[in-house]
Amino acid sequence: MAHSFDTDTEAAGLCAFVDASPSPFHACAEAGRMLEAAGFSHIVETEAFPTEPGRHYLIRGGALIAWSTETAGGPTTPFRVVGAHTDSPNLRIKPQPDLARAGWQLLGVELYGSLLLNSWLDRDLGLSGRVAVRGSAGVETRLLTVNEPVLRVAQLAVHLDRGVNEGLVLNPQEHLTPLWGVSTEPGDFRGYLAAAVGVDAADVLSWDVMTHDLQPSRRIGRDRDLISAPRLDNLTTSYAGVRALIDAVDGPGRASASPSTASPLIPLLVLFDHEEAGSQSERGAMSTLLPSVLERVVIAAGGGREDFHRSLAGTVIASGDMAHATHPNYPEKHEPQHQIAINGGPVLKTNVKLRYATDSVGAAAFIMACDQADVPVQHFVSRNDLPCGSTVGPMTAALTGATTVDFGAPMLSMHSARELCGAQDPAMYAGALAAFLAPSIA
């Protein structure tokens, strides 16, 4: 059965999800809210996994894993996994950020990920993330959301940089420091955070705080067939993955399948953190997070180590990250025989140097899912003289030994503070992922 998603509903849902998710921590909280509304229960890693069939999710910092064992056929049941990441390039606040210079109060920042530096100039910026505070029982964490224009990175006027239009050069240490007040004395960022999360300044121990663009996500274009938003890379896949998982376990295809005809598999969604910084953290794709959860699900079903490896042998992973649409102003940057269109459907990504994990078997599984969802498939290959980026796909493939395919949704302005994708693509994206996860096609 085709998994159909309404174009306008999914475009609006993506915009709402992005606006509610200024940081990876917020993205996990918002995804958790959506999952709980669909009957998923939150569990913590320090407790035993439930042994009865059900729908569950866990959060580790800025990462989330959700799964359903309702159609599992025993401890050797293979998984169908959709992977994505919650983080995006931005400016992150240093541990000792307070600066004063030339009568201005500034905040010291570090550059997170390979961001387009110029895109952060002259924007009204808010603050978001996680604050670690001293609580009655030890360290507690609080979500921080400041959707007010408290920061701005001001560009130098053209009169003082006459050659700027021949080539803008930004020193990330000197030229990307946001200002947030007028004074000859440094500000008090710790005190500001304390007031924002409702604690005393002495109880603020540390923070993971970042900047975000305050302009809301919205549909644009003559026919409103585009979406302009921050963090589309990779909240587009995160949102589509949540929607797809819910549909795969609760949609029309699942609801019409009896226990005797439902295919035995476990649909699972993993949203990693720190992909933009190399994934080498306790919640990144290079960690044991995914293999550990997969094994614990098998153990909860009564299996052992042998059952776990048998399960992995039949598992297929779809690693979702955004794809470069062909840029109309720079067509020479793209492979001529593999043009990618906005609103043209999901993009299958291949690279023989294994920057993407796709092989023919994984590609076939994804193409079949797109066929079932009745959505077109596009094929991306980078130019031989222009190396491509990478994804969580090769990492998860290496750590699990599972067949893996890399795919994405087309976009422009990747890694800008403001990115662009098609308004029709989110629905096709979610439909393809739901079909990939659905028991009926395993």
What does the alpha-carbon distance between residue 442 and residue 360 come to, in Å, rounded to a whole number?
17
β-sheet with 138-151: strand ranges across: 138-151, 125-135, 204-213, 90-101, 104-112, 179-182
Please indicate, yes or no, if residue 252 is contained in any of the structural domains.
Answer: yes
Q: Is the pLDDT of residue 140 over 70?
A: yes
| Whether residue 255 sits in one domain with residue 370 | yes
- The CA distances from residue 235 to 70, 241, 287, 426, in Å, are 27, 9, 21, 11
Q: Which of 102-111, 135-144, 191-200, 245-254 has the lowest mean pLDDT?
A: 245-254
| Whether residue 419 sits in one domain with residue 353 | yes
| Per-residue pLDDT reduced to its tens digit, 396-411 | 999 999 999 999 999 9
Q: Is the pLDDT of residue 260 over 80?
A: no
DSSP string, 158-179: GGG-TTGGG-----TTTS-PPE
Q: Is the pLDDT of residue 254 over 80?
A: no
The residue from 153, 182, 213 where one domain ends is 213
Other CB atoms within a 10 A radius of the CB of residue 45 amount to: 13
Comparing CA positions, the residue from 350, 374, 360 lying closest to residue 441 is 374
| Whether residue 138 sits in one domain with residue 23 | no
| Per-residue pLDDT reduced to its tens digit, 10-30 | 999 999 999 999 999 999 999
**What are the residues facing 135 on neighbouring strands?**
138
Please indicate, yes or no, if residue 1 is contained in any of the structural domains.
Answer: no
| Whether residue 181 sits in one domain with residue 101 | yes
When pLDDT is cut at 50, 70 and 90, the band that residue 384 belongs to is confident
Give me the chain's average pLDDT, please.
94
- Say what the pLDDT of residue 387 is: 84
| Whether residue 152 sits in one domain with residue 247 | no
| Whether residue 142 sits in one domain with residue 33 | no
| Whether residue 154 sits in one domain with residue 42 | no
| Whether residue 104 sits in one domain with residue 204 | yes
Tokens of 366: 């994804």
What does the alpha-carbon distance between residue 350 and residue 360 come to, in Å, rounded to a whole number?
10
Q: Is the pLDDT of residue 1 over 60?
A: no
What CATH number has the domain bearing residue 119? 2.30.250.10
| Per-residue pLDDT reduced to its tens digit, 414-441 | 999 999 999 999 999 999 999 999 845 4
Does pTM top 0.75 for this prediction? yes
- Say what the pLDDT of residue 313 is: 97
**Interval 40-53 mean pLDDT:** 97
Q: Which of 63-67, 100-104, 176-180, 252-256 has the lowest mean pLDDT?
A: 252-256
Comparing CA positions, the residue from 279, 267, 272 lying closest to residue 243 is 267
Please indicate, yes or no, if residue 13 is contained in any of the structural domains.
Answer: yes
The residue from 180, 213, 246 where one domain ends is 213
By residue range, what is the domain housing residue 131? Answer: 90-213
| Whether residue 429 sits in one domain with residue 370 | yes
The residue from 160, 186, 213 where one domain ends is 213
| Whether residue 104 sits in one domain with residue 61 | no
Start-to-end CA span in the chain (Å): 13
Q: How many residues does the chain have?
A: 442
Q: Is the pLDDT of residue 258 over 50?
A: no
**Interval 124-128 mean pLDDT:** 99
What CATH number has the domain bearing residue 411? 3.40.630.10
| Whether residue 429 sits in one domain with residue 329 | yes
Q: Is the pLDDT of residue 3 over 70?
A: no
| Whether residue 413 sits in one domain with residue 292 | yes
The total number of structural domains in the chain stands at: 2
